[in-house]
Amino acid sequence: MIRVLRKKKKPIFWILMISFVVGTIFLSWGVGQQKRQSAENPQYASIDGKQVSGAEYEETKARIIERYKNRYKEFDESMIPDIHKRAVDEIIKRRLLFAEAKRRGIYISEKELVQTTRLSFADDNAYQQARKTWPGRYWKWREQEIRDELLIARMEAIITDGAEPTDTEIKEYFDRWYQRADASHILIDPASYVSEEKAKKHYEDFKEEFKKPGPIRARHILIMVKQDASQQEDQQAKAKADSLLQQLKGGADFAELAKKNSNCASAANGGDLGTFSQGMMVPEFEKAAFALEVGQTSDVTKTMFGYHIIKVDWKGEAIQQGYLEVRDKIRKTLGQEDDALGSASTASKRIAKEIKAGTLTFSEAVQRYSDAKASKKNHGRLGIIPRGFLPPQEIGTGTNRGTDTYFAMLQEEVAFGRTIAPQFSEVCFSMKEGGVSIPVKTSFGFHIIKVDRFLPSDEKRYEKEMDEIKEMATSAKKNLFLGEWYKCLKKKAKVKVGEGFSS
């Protein structure tokens, strides 16, 4: 939306300054609130007698939301159940990690801090200019943020050292998370309970927000990676792209580097791709390109083709979108309001009750009520779905998203990228064969699920995706180590959690 785009167009100095001022306002608010709290009766939580402020809570909540936004293209807060509890729990973990680091004498040196801070700037000149221009209070806050993140990473590395899963554990992880179900569903979308009149009014009231970026002219350097490339080959390509990016930061000419290194036909023209609009490139490339200002160079960006470095040479004016063009998006947004959610929830409960009472068959309910356009054509059938993750080579992209293909359908109805919606998966794989669920809420809406049968995991995927499966199993084991360590530390500490924030 134009509001977001305009924010991005402001100089970085003002963005950071606004963040700093807002943070100060929140901090002042938090201090005021703490005067009305006590260690025994905190608003959010207290750890060893120290209160969690409103500022810390809001910043942590925003950090969690940003992580999800970066991971999923289509995002809303309903994807994060009990986000307020998660935020408080994350704060407690951070505080306990800091305390344990202090007890062990672990710290971040000034050299490490400066090196990491410099890396967040395009080049050393930008860093030095920022040092001269930005206020000292900002730098004090920023460096503490970086120091904290480095300290957390170091502590987690120490705690999880040696958390390598055995071959048996990797196989057990695979068997659990790659188990499959032959499932169908009825989707009740709250957006369908938003009237045309209300949607049109919203469009007129916020018309300026419904503008999309105009065309841009960009060039790129592509270090190609074959789809069947080994992990080593992928890492070598990434290392080369990183090296080229460092050369660009050092003042190298983009066009010359493209001519000598890019694995794209555009290399002959200095990487020039010509002019293009949104929707013409693969999503990852497009997201990076349209976020750049004229003359700005991107970080290394991974797509299905390999690793890209992108530079924007020209940007056209924003284009006003017509009502019909954005109607579905508006209805989706307004569908998250209480009245639409309430109507959809009530309808889904009534439908599920009728199915269980036998007054309505599942197939009849699909045809009469389901808002899932693709699966509705096949009596609500989603087909064979995994418990956790879809195969990487079968993910819908910008070229097939929205078409009536199997994986595009899953992404439109139950999956975020490669992940089946956790709420959907949890209920689906806890059911009995032939069972029909009560309504399950996800960010897509309310689902009534029917499972025909369960199937074991596909052994072909175990061999084909071994590197990724091992990586995820390792991450899961490390998280288990961290979780157990956290529980032990939490028991020893004096932790009080405010009403409604306990996880």
Residue 439: pLDDT band with limits 50, 70, 90: very high
Confidence of residue 75 (pLDDT cuts 50, 70, 90): low
Check residue 122 and give its pLDDT: 62
281 with 363, same domain: the answer is no
Question: C-alpha distances in angstroms, 353 versus 71, 190, 191, 406, 427?
Answer: 36, 19, 22, 29, 17
In-domain check, residue 462: no
pLDDT band at 4; cut points 50, 70, 90: very low
Q: State residue 47's pLDDT score.
A: 87
**In CATH, what number is assigned to the domain containing residue 28?**
1.10.4030
- Provide the pLDDT for residue 166: 93
- Please give the full DSSP string across 260-309, using - where no structure is assigned: HH--SGGGGGTTEEEEE-TTSS-HHHHHHHHTPPTT-B---EEETTEEEE
Residue 326 in any domain: the answer is no
- Does one domain contain both 130 and 25? yes
pLDDT at residue number 32: 36
Residue range 341-348: mean pLDDT, rounded: 96
Q: Is 131 a member of any domain?
A: yes
23 and 151 share one domain: yes
The pLDDT of residue 24: 32
Predicted confidence band of residue 392 (pLDDT cuts 50, 70, 90): low
Would the pLDDT of 31 be above 60? Answer: no
What's the pLDDT tens digit per position in 282-292? 888 999 999 99
Residue 220 lies in a domain: yes
Same-domain pairing of 138 and 268: no
**Burial code of 432-452, b = ≥16 C-beta within 10 A, e = fewer?**
eeeebbebbbbbbbbbbbbbe
How do residues 252-299 score in pLDDT, each as one tens digit? 999 999 999 999 989 999 999 999 988 888 888 999 999 999 999 999
* Pair (294, 347) in one structural domain: no
Q: In this model, does residue 483 exceed pLDDT 60?
A: yes
Say if 140 falls within a structural domain.
yes
Q: What confidence score (pLDDT) does residue 42 get? A: 66
Tell me what pLDDT residue 139 has: 79
- Is the Cβ–Cβ distance between 138 and 16 less than 8 Å? yes
Rounded to whole angstroms, what are the CA distances from 317 to 8, 168, 215?
Answer: 15, 57, 8
Radius of gyration of the chain, Cα coordinates, nearest whole angstrom: 25
DSSP letter assigned to residue 475? H
> Domain span at residue 418?
179-194+335-456
Angle (CA) 200-202-205 rounded to 5° is 110
Residue 159 and residue 183 in one domain: no
CA dihedral 180, 410, 432, 473 (to 10 degrees): 40
pLDDT higher than threshold 70 for residue 403: no
| pLDDT higher at 395 or 352 | 352
Query: Residue 125's pLDDT band (boundaries 50, 70, 90)?
Result: confident
The answer to whether residues 341 and 399 belong to one domain is yes
DSSP calls for 366-377: HHHH---HHHHT
Task: Tell me: pLDDT of 30 over 70.
Answer: no
Distance CA(39)–CA(21), nearest Å, equals 28
Q: Is residue 486 part of a domain?
A: no
Q: Are residues 122 and 154 in the same domain?
A: yes
The neighbour count for residue 26, using CB atoms within 10 Å, is: 17
Burial of 49 (0-12, 13-18, 19+ CB in 10 A): exposed
Work out how many domains the chain is built from and give that number: 3
> From CA 271, how far away is CA 191, in angstroms rounded?
43
In a domain, 224, yes or no: yes
Q: CATH number, domain at 375?
A: 3.10.50.40
- The pLDDT tens digits of the residues spanning 158-201 come to 989 888 999 999 999 898 888 999 999 999 999 999 999 999 99
Looking at the fold, whether 343 and 274 belong to one and the same domain comes out as no
Q: Are 300 and 391 in the same domain?
A: no
* Residue 393 pLDDT greater than 60, yes or no: no
The pLDDT of residue 7: 34
Confidence (pLDDT) at 244: 93
Residue 220 and residue 94 share a domain: no
Q: Write the DSSP string, 105-171.
A: T----HHHHHHHHHHTSSSHHHHHHHHHHS-HHHHHHHHHHHHHHHHHHHHHHHHTTT-PPPHHHHH
Rounded CA-CA distance 474/164 in Å is 6
Q: Which two tokens stand for residue 247?
A: 């050369």
Q: pLDDT-derived band of residue 407, with 50, 70 and 90 as boundaries?
A: confident
Q: Report pLDDT digits (tens) over 92-115.
A: 998 998 988 998 999 899 999 888
Q: What is the DSSP letter of 81?
A: T
The verdict on 155 and 40 lying in the same domain is: yes
Please indicate, yes or no, if residue 469 is contained in any of the structural domains: no
* Res 279: pLDDT: 80
DSSP 3-state of 445: strand
Burial of residue 215, with CB atoms counted within 10 A of its CB: 0-12 exposed, 13-18 middle, 19 or more buried: middle
